[in-house]
Amino acid sequence: MDGERAVSTEPSESTAVVRGRDLVRRYEWGAAGLFGDDAPPAVRAVDGVSIAIRGGEMVGIAGPSGSGKSTLLHLLAGLDLPTAGTVTLAGTDTADYGERGRARLRLEHVGVVFQRFHLLPALSARANVALPLVELGEPKSRRRERATELLEAVGLGDRVTHRPGRLSGGEQQRVAIARSLATEPDLIVADEPTGELDSETGERVLSALGDVADDRAVVLASHDEQALAVCDRRVPLRDGKRADDERDADGTGG
Amino acid sequence: MRRLSRVRALVAVAFAQLRHERLQTATAVLGVAMAVLAAVLLAGVGIGVVEFGQQKFQQSGQDLWMTGGPTELRPGTVGGFQNSVVDSHDLAASVTERDPVAAAVPLLFQTVYAGRNASEFRTVVGAGSPGGGELVSISEGRGFRGGDVHYAGGSYDGPMTREVIIDRRTADLLDVGVNDTIHLGGTVATARENEFTVIGISPTFSRFVGAPTVVVRQSELQEVTGTTASDRASFVLVRATRGADVSALESDLTETYPQYTVRTNGEQFRATLRDQAVVLLSGASLLVLAVVAGVLLVLNMQLSFVFRHRETLAAVAAMGVSRSSLAAIVLVYALFVGLLGGLLGVGLALPGIELVNAVTVRVTGFENVATLSRRVLLGGFGLAVLVSAVGGLAASAYLARSNPLDTLR
């Protein structure tokens, strides 16, 4: 993956790393009326979206605040389950797993990058990157080696022992990107990864993400044009629906 | 191997957290240490008082105690003590006539005014002893010689020996020594009229009551406190002959004198403790409060940690790190705090108990009442671990139950 990406279409069934089909995520607020006569107020955060992403592809989910970008990202990452529709990740339906199973699925197949970095302040950059490997029970030597390697890959080879408090915002986000790659996932989801950064730093972070993603599928939710510009493909959302629905309604693309 | 590696890594993360949040950690460690200190000192004082009391009762050389009720302070009366045994000389004589009884002597406690001169008085405890014998041990001067001659078979017209044995604290309080004279009486007016000669210094009764004490013959104490009419005493102490069956004697005396309660040393000590139920309950309440405060402190610290880092913990959980791992970090962090607090609390308890004993000597005159056994120290340390484990487990359970999406949404 490099900065110059060709415009691509949705992948076929066999080549997709992650696929969402007819996804609906409805949130109900409060409870039904005392006599069941009033249905609780409901919001369809995602409403009938189909999407598929192949390895090596960076897809940008675009849309204004409240359009359902983050919810769609959570569904694709197996963080949340759809009210209707299916998400197939690493060849399995995420709904087939319980809470623990999905956590393990995410650990092995999904890397997550957040807008606010979310690094543990007590740990060094290297220890933060190595944290997901702890869960896999990797030995210390392997964890250190892998974390150092990833930090060097994002240009922070000289900051491995620094705690987050001593790193700039851009550096912290690059540590978070390195952390998302620690378990060598097939899919990376990034929710507004440049939201807390100035444009120049944001550009550098996106460049680092593109450089280290290799053949992994990357889904990036953002309303930042600069961030979306580096993506191979853009999926616009509005009111929980795909704004380009008429082009690719079934998610099989072409 | 993988599990061990994971556990070691989680412990390392918890330790890093401990070092990073120094102020919070120090506050929590100090709080746990205070809870441990309070619990250990209370236990040390409680156990020490029980052992000390049992020891004193055993050292009294008596086998049975006859009383008519609790010996307690009674404000508003001359003498200040409620002495429930009446006709005590006759009772003691009657008991002494029994075969398995070597000796039975009445013992009277009254609050009296004591002064070096007739113008300045201090209140001390007056103990009425029947006379000679081994009841009072002498450290300086001599003991009583001869019996309670003033009693004169109940007529109280025998000569007053006007001899008094005092303890070291009374000697210091009144600035007197052996062969000096002091004034004694149940009222200031009576004390002005009654002079006694100090013939000896004895620690016996002050050790027993924990206050400055003067010992005079019982009938002379009754005379100067105006209690000759009913010949009252606090106890009648009964010493059995060597090899006698003390419990059979106890049953016999109980049957013969149903108006009195007859107790062995152990029973009398337990009865004394029961009379102090409010004090005991206060001690137990303080102990429970110390434990509850410790648990709440650790819980508060851990929940505060979880709350401050809730987004980061949710993000780490979102990446697939199990919530049980995150809960384990919180629990291990709490246990570290407990271990440090336990060590500090136990460490502080050693000089703390010395301080308690120093204060106790000044206030009551009892030396080395509070003791710290290895069992108490280990118990205190265990309490710290328990307190932190409960606090840590509660915070861990909260973290394990929370859904990362609720925070990240």
CB atoms B315 and A123 under 8 Å:
no
Residues of chain B contacting residue A129, judged by C-beta atoms under 8 Å apart? none
Q: What are the tens digits of pLDDT across the range B78-136?
A: 445 567 788 888 888 888 888 888 888 888 888 899 999 888 899 998 988 776 555 66
- Say how far apart CA A17 and CA A13 lie, in whole Å: 9
Which of A241-250, B22-31, B109-118, B214-223 is predicted least confidently? A241-250
Cβ separation A104–B320 shorter than 8 A: yes
**Which region among A50-64, B180-194, B296-310 has the lowest average model confidence (pLDDT)?**
B296-310
B154 confidence band (pLDDT: 50, 70, 90): confident
CA-nearest of A224, A133, A244, A248 to A181 is A133
Domain extent, residue A215, equals 3-7+55-81+97-242
pLDDT for the residue A245:
55
Radius of gyration of chain B (CA): 31
Q: Does A142 touch chain B (CB under 8 A)?
A: no
* B2 → chain A, closest CA residue: A137
- φ, ψ at B119 (rounded to 5°): -115, -20
Pick from B43-52, B77-86, B346-355 the range whose average pLDDT is largest.
Answer: B346-355
A–B interface: beta-carbon pairs under 8 A: 95
Q: What is the pLDDT of residue A176?
A: 94
Number of neighbouring beta carbons within 10 Å of residue A31: 8
CA of A123 to nearest chain B CA: how many angstroms apart? 7
Residues with Cβ within 8 Å of B34's Cβ and at least 6 positions away in sequence, in order, are B290, B294, B345
- In this structure, of A26-30, A66-70, A202-206, B33-37, the range with the lowest mean pLDDT score is A26-30
Q: How confident is the model at residue B131, as a pLDDT?
A: 65
Among A176-185, B69-78, B301-310, B314-323, name the most confident range. A176-185
- pLDDT value, residue A40: 62
Buried b vs exposed e over B243-265: b needs ≥16 C-beta within 10 Å? Answer: ebeeeebbebbeeebeebbbbbb
Best-predicted range by mean pLDDT (A79-83, B228-232, B356-360, B397-401)? A79-83
pLDDT at B318: 86
Instruction: Give the CATH number for residue A205.
Output: 3.40.50.300
Of the listed ranges A129-143, A235-249, B371-385, B390-404, the one predicted with least confidence: A235-249
Which chain B residue lies closest to A188 (C-alpha atoms)? B319
Task: Inform me whether the C-beta atom of residue B3 falls under 8 Å from chain A C-beta atoms.
Answer: yes
CB contact under 8 A, A131 and B312: no
The answer to whether B330 faces chain A, any CB pair under 8 Å, is no
pLDDT score, position A35: 58
Q: What would the pLDDT profile of A115-156 be if each residue is shown by its tens digit?
A: 888 899 999 999 999 999 999 889 999 999 999 999 999 999
Token digits for B164?
Answer: 């008094």
> Is the model more confident about B57 or about B377?
B377
Alpha helix positions (H), A194-254: 199-213, 225-229
Provide mean pLDDT across the span B262-266: 81
Answer whether residue B181 shows pLDDT above 90. yes
The secondary structure element, H or E, covering residue A50 is strand A42-54
What integer best gives the mean pLDDT of chain B? Answer: 83
| Closest residue on chain A to B10 (Cα) | A134
Cβ <8 Å between B319 and A179:
yes
Which pLDDT score, from 0 to 100, does residue B359 have?
A: 86
- Say if residue A108's pLDDT is above 90: yes
Q: What is the largest distance, in Å, between two alpha-carbon atoms of chain A?
A: 65
pLDDT tens profile B283-306: 777 778 877 877 787 778 778 878
Touching check for B19 and chain A: CB below 8 Å?
Answer: yes
> What does residue B73 show for φ and ψ, rounded to 5 degrees?
-65, 135
Most distant CA pair in chain B: distance in Å? 99
The reported pLDDT for the residue numbered A241 is 93
Q: Is the pLDDT of residue B159 over 70?
A: yes
**Given an 8 Å threshold on Cβ–Cβ distance, is B21 in contact with A106?**
no
Look at B340 and B366; give whichever has higher pLDDT.
B340
Per-residue confidence at B243, pLDDT binned at 50, 70, 90?
A: confident
Residue B268 above 90 pLDDT? Answer: no
Answer yes or no: is pLDDT of A247 > 60. Answer: no
Q: Which residues of chain A neighbour B3 with C-beta distances below 8 Å? A: 137
In angstroms, the Cα distances linking B338 to A79, B325, B381 are 35, 20, 8
**Closest Cα to residue B108, out of B5, B209, B197, B249?**
B209
Nearest-5° angle of CA B32, CA B38, CA B42? 150
Q: Is residue A134 within 8 Å of residue A196, measured between CB atoms? A: no
Inform me whether the pLDDT recorded for B245 exceeds 90: no
Residue B58: Cβ within 10 Å count:
12
Which of B10, B16, B405 is opposite residue A122, by nearest beta carbon? B16
Query: Is A33 a domain residue?
Result: no
Structural domain includes residue A234:
yes
Tell me how far apart the alpha carbons of residues B390 and B399 are, in angstroms, rounded to a whole number: 14
Buried b (16+ CB within 10 A) or exposed e, A203-222: bbbbebbbebbeebbbbbbb
Q: Does A233 touch chain B (CB under 8 A)?
A: no
Residue A175 has pLDDT above 70, yes or no: yes
Q: How far apart are CA A60 and CA A10, in angstroms?
A: 12
Give yes or no for residue B339 having a pLDDT over 60. Answer: yes
Between CA A62 and CA A226 the distance in angstroms is 11
Q: What is the pLDDT of residue A101?
A: 92
Gap between the Cα atoms of B214 and B128, Å rounded:
9
Asked whether residue B349 carries a pLDDT value surpassing 80, the answer given is yes
pLDDT of residue A200: 86
In a mutational test of the A interface, the residue from B319, B321, B329 whose CB has the highest number of chain A CBs within 10 Å is: B319
Contact predicate A119/A166, CB 8 Å:
no
- Structure confidence at residue B76 (pLDDT): 45
Rounded to an integer, the average pLDDT of A46-54 is 94
Examine residue A48 and state whether it is found in any structural domain, yes or no: no
Task: Give Cβ neighbours of residue B339 (< 8 Å, ≥ 6 apart).
Answer: B384, B385, B388
Task: Give chain A's domain count.
Answer: 1
Q: What is the pLDDT of residue B73?
A: 47
Question: Do B203 and B168 contact (CB within 8 A), yes or no?
Answer: yes
pLDDT band (50, 70, 90) for residue A231: very high
Angle between helices B22-59 and B2-20 (to 10 degrees): 90
How much of chain B exceeds pLDDT 70, in percent?
89
Let me know if residue A40 belongs to a domain: no
A21 occurs within a structural domain: no
Does residue A52 carry a pLDDT above 60? Answer: yes
Q: What is the dihedral of CA A86, A92, A96, A98, to 10 degrees?
A: -110
Interface contact flag, A134 B321, Cβ < 8 Å: yes
